[in-house]
Chains A and B, each alone.
Chain A
């Protein structure tokens, strides 16, 4: 990889066990700042598991055990001195299914800044909400109904609301777990455009099942299979001349 680029997050020999059963068998992977990295691979290959390690969402699963090290700006996020709440404020997440809170659009976006005390006044909070909605490309569609309930939006709008909610706490990294799998092609296109815009300010890791999406939005691609990292490299290279037979087979649709 390009040596000029700064490494934002780095996984070192990450292994995950669910109830003693191995799900990831030692992943070492760098995530570069202000780039989009796509994690691809067939179902059950561990790409979502790896993503969930990056903000320690695996902590919430009973019986999950993570070994190895994951660095965020050179600091081990599994170190006992790291507060998981603070970590998640730095590494935000967007989930597969749009999951807005059953509250107003405004409250959805304002929740994160509020619990972290990011706004000192009501006007400041209003400003954060507006900016987040603008960045998520949703503001023009909802500016007249900020106090409508968030679940009344369409699926694509809900997912952009979730993205706005995630960026409202100004994270450094945004993790996206198949953010478009529940959306129609038009909504998907909007989200993909948005991801490309967000790259300027954030580092993004996205899990996707769509090869086209990976090719469109990412600069780097990591191919997972059966809990192992098969290959990682610039997206162009991976899609045009993969080094591994398994990658070749997967992206041409021969398995998975």
Chain B
């Protein structure tokens, strides 16, 4: 009797290791939390490093001042009517130097001072003023308010990137120049403005006049080519393999090869492109067409694999329903299966496009690592790409290229973020029936 009542009182004393099991779960959750926190920490560190270095690249120091377009400097012999060449070869930077030294009250015989004034502004003014005068020769002899870019070193000094505690002889900006910066800034003629040049200029050896223009155009050409080639080919191949091809040794072989190709290092695709498109078909080097073809080859396996898995994920009950109603196979595919698989296909495509956008290695091999000073007009023209431009700037020495490297990385990351957000939005949109 006592034994029975005892067992009634304590029915749950059996040791089934509950504590141990709960401890194991707690431990596992802690591991997961630690892993996620580590990931977030490194992501934060990466983004902080890029943005703290790169945000200043979106600002550029400019100087606005009245410039007299002196005929005696531009065209001393007054021959421009007969020989327009004069307007091209004229010494334009001296106009700016004169205007600036006048403003800063430097004596015309202070040669050291004048040389330092000359280094205040970008030598890109030669192109800027030449274009201005060449487009409108009437301006010669008048005084115009012109905004010129400050030289890269001055820009760096204004942004506080040059350590002024270093002895004057060991730094690139002299004490006098620093004084002038303060003087010009005080009356508002030297200021920082949004750096549109970062997006419009092409390659240049001067940091202040170099930008991502040619790289952006090249990247856009390539993305369009990749999209136009790999999406239809990839989806068609995936549909055929998944829905029509018989399962036999040959299709198994194709499947294994596609899976392997997806894992092939991208530089190998670059070699392939070099051998086939440039050496065999004779397409031009450095052209975004070749880059797009190579990247399309690279993204095809990924698109095929994601499309196949998206097709496989469509419930077979939907297929049976359509076929049972007397839909032909192609009606079943295009009216029921593909719409349901579309979110998966789109996500796969956009993710692989984003990967293609960020790809550098294969482009190096087909000569897209090039100094492209003009916008590529067609995909056959020499071009470069965003990640390649980053690679090239990263190997430059000037301080001003460091911030531009990070700035370009920010631009690239923005593009990738936009593409990924687009993938998410499209997916949501298509998932709503």
Contact = CB atoms under 8 A, between A and B. Distances in A.
Interface of A: 55, 57, 60, 62, 85-89, 92-93, 95, 97, 99-103, 111-112, 115-116, 149, 151, 162, 165-166, 169
B77 interface: no
B433 A92 contact: no
A115 B323 contact: no
B321 A115 contact: no
A162 B321 contact: yes
Interface stretch (B174-182, B296-304, B312-320): B312-320
Given A103-B433, A151-B433, A97 B317 contact: yes
A112 B320 CA distance: 13
A85 B324 contact: no
Given A97-B317, A102-B340, A57 B246 contact: no
B3 interface: no
17 contacts: A57-B320, A57-B324, A85-B326, A85-B327, A89-B325, A89-B326, A93-B320, A99-B315, A100-B321, A101-B321, A101-B336, A102-B340, A115-B335, A149-B433, A165-B321, A165-B325, A169-B326
B247 A95 contact: no
B326 A116 contact: yes
Interface string B233-252: 00000000000001100000
Given A99-B318, A99-B321, A162-B321, A62 B326 contact: no
A165 B315 CA distance: 18
Given A55-B324, A92-B324, 7 more contacts: A57-B323, A99-B320, A101-B318, A102-B318, A102-B433, A112-B326, A169-B325
B328 interface: yes
A165 B328 CA distance: 16
Contacts of A102: 318, 340, 433
B259 interface: no
Nearest to B340: A102
B331 interface: yes
A111 B318 CA distance: 13
B433 A88 contact: no
Given A60-B323, A165-B325, A115 B331 contact: yes
Interface residues of B, number: 20
Interface string B322-363: 111111100100011000100000000000000000000000
B320 A86 contact: no
B325 A112 contact: yes
Contacts of A169: 325-326
A110 B325 CA distance: 11
Contact of A88 (B315, B317, B319, B324): B324
Contacts of B323: 57, 60, 88
Contacts of B340: 102
B317 A95 contact: yes
A79 to B, nearest CB: 17
Interface string B261-277: 00000000000000000
Interface centre among A88, A92, A165 (most CB of B within 10 A): A88
Contacts of B433: 102-103, 149, 151
B247 A88 contact: no
A115 B324 contact: no
A50 B47 CA distance: 63
A93 B321 CA distance: 8
Contact of B326 (A86, A103, A162): A86
A103 B403 CA distance: 53
B321 A88 contact: no
Contacts of A85: 326-328
A99 B317 contact: yes
Given A99-B318, A115-B331, A149-B433, A93 B324 contact: yes
Contacts of B315: 99
